[in-house]
Structure formats: structure tokens, C-alpha cells
Amino acid sequence: MQQKPERVGGGPSAVLAGRWLNAANLLTVLRAALAPPIIALLLFNAQRPPRASFYTFAAGVLFVVAALTDKADGYYARKTDSVTRLGQFLDPLADKLLVLPVMIALWYLKLFPLWVVLVVLARELLISGIRIVGARKGISFPASWSGKIKMFSQIIVISVLIFFPASASALWARVLVYLMAAITAYSGVDYVLRARREVFSGRASEPGAG
């Protein structure tokens, strides 16, 4: 069922409200912090003559661990009743700081199409702009089902290309990449439609999720 935006009140200053220093938020920060070592391993591996699969494997393991924190932080926050506005703000930001830089690294290594990177980047810039407008009105957007599927599809595609770089030119791998791009674009359109109803309509949104 579609989740509705939440009225949080207080504008951007409300982001820092609540018990922000907790394990869930630290897991979120860890997700973004793992992007640089993943990229370093991928680039270092590319310069080894011949390429050493150990570095690719290590990069893949780190990426999977980082992706798992996306579920772990939310589960832990709900289980311990430690959901904070800062966590709601950081969670989608950490996703972007993990996925986009790794995608760019894969494009640099000629494993990922540039146009797909641009589609993902355009979607994230658009959504970030809408989130800023929503925050100024005291509205936060819980993750929708399309956003969750988008993130899942990106994790699958990136993991495949990291662990099996030789498959990048295979038809089935290209189909996965194109499908992920389509899901990403659809989730962006879905988000814009939600924002048009809730942020730009001038109506106060209802608290909670429907």
C-alpha cells in the first residue's frame, strides 16, 4: 500500500531533533562510508596486470555488506523504537552516496553504460530537490514501494557487475541494466506525482502511513 508523507513540523531544524546518536543511524553512516573503499578496490584491481580477482571479490563483499545495512538500520530502529528524523533524512542520502559513486566507478571501468548513470543521477537530483522543498514545509516522505524496488534492482545489478565483470557485455546482463534503469525512472515519476499531491498542492498531509 502506498505510504503517505508525514508532517514532521519545524522545518529543516527538526532533522536534528530526537535521539539521533544510536546504532541504526551509525549503520546508515557506515553504508555511505563503505563507498570509498569499494571504489578503491575496484580501481586498484583494474590496474593489476593481470587483474586480481581477490580485489574484485573484496569490493563485492563490501558492497553487499553496505547494502545489507539498508535493511539492518531500519529493522533495528523499529525494533528498539529509535526512529529519528535525522535517520529518516540520512537513510536515502546514504543510499545515494553508496550507489552513485560505485556506478560511476563501474562506468569508468567500462562495465556500466553512461546513459544509465545519467538517468540515475537525474532521478536522485530531482528527488533531492523535492525532499528539500518538503522539508521546508515540514513534510517527510517514507520510502514507497517503487523506491524500495528501485534500490533492490540497483543493488542486484551492481553486485552482478562487480562479482562477474566479464558478464557486462552479455545480453542477460544488459537486460538487467536496462530493467533497472526503467524501474529507476518509474520510481522518479511516482515520487514526483506524490510530491505534486502532497507538497505542491498546498494541502496539509496526514500523519502516518496508509
Annotated domain spans of the chain = 6-198
Q: What was the pLDDT predicted at 16?
A: 44
Q: What was the pLDDT predicted at 83?
A: 63
Is the pLDDT reported for residue 111 higher than 80?
yes
Cα–Cα distance for residue pair 210/207, rounded to 1 Å: 9
Q: What was the pLDDT predicted at 29?
A: 86
CA 156 to centroid of chain Cα atoms: 12
CATH 1.10.3470.10 fits 6-198, yes or no: no
Residue 26, Cβ density class (10 Å: 0-12 exposed, 13-18 middle, ≥19 buried): middle
Cα–Cα distance for residue pair 207/32, rounded to 1 Å: 29
Task: Please provide residue 83's backbone torsions phi and psi, each rounded to the nearest 5 degrees.
Answer: -70, 125
Q: What was the pLDDT predicted at 69?
A: 86
Q: What was the pLDDT predicted at 132?
A: 79
Q: In the chain, what are the helix, strand and coil shares in percent, each to the nearest 5?
A: 75, 0, 25
Cα–Cα distance for residue pair 43/167, rounded to 1 Å: 18
Q: What was the pLDDT predicted at 47?
A: 75
Instruction: Assign 201 to helix, strand or coil.
Output: coil
Q: What was the pLDDT predicted at 77?
A: 63
**Which pTM was predicted?**
0.79
pLDDT band at 210 (very low <50, low <70, confident <90, very high): very low
Average pLDDT, the chain: 79
pLDDT tens profile 51-90 = 558 889 999 999 999 998 877 766 666 666 666 666 667 7
Is the pLDDT reported for residue 128 higher than 70?
yes
| Residue the block writes with cell 545480453 | 171
